[in-house]
Amino acid sequence: MRLRVEFTTEPFDLDEAPPHAVVARDVVQRADLDAVDVGPFGNTAEGEAGRVLTAVDALLRQALEAGATRVSLQVNVLADEAAAVSGEGDK
């Protein structure tokens, strides 16, 4: 199964990336994930489920330790995987 994670950390600082944001981005960039995209208002990455979940665990722990007061994230099963699980891919 492949997953996509989208996340942001707070508090925001528009002038300079706060330490918790830098740590969170470093975690996903170091992880063995595909299609990592980092930006000022959100970040996404996708990959094999186990790798994504391991990265999310590290992301949460390290961002909170670095001063994040809130981490918002969303994890989705990629569309092709969702169709295969529901049997729609067999039609």
More confident site: 35 or 4: 4
35 — alpha (psi -120 to 50), left (phi > 0) or beta? Answer: left
- DSSP-derived letter for residue 55 is H
Q: Is the pTM of this model over 0.85?
A: no
With beta carbons less than 8 A apart as the criterion, state whether 73 and 7 touch.
yes
Rounded to the nearest integer, the mean pLDDT of the chain is: 89
pLDDT band at 7 (very low <50, low <70, confident <90, very high): very high
As a whole number, mean pLDDT of residues 5-20 equals 91
13 — alpha (psi -120 to 50), left (phi > 0) or beta? Answer: beta
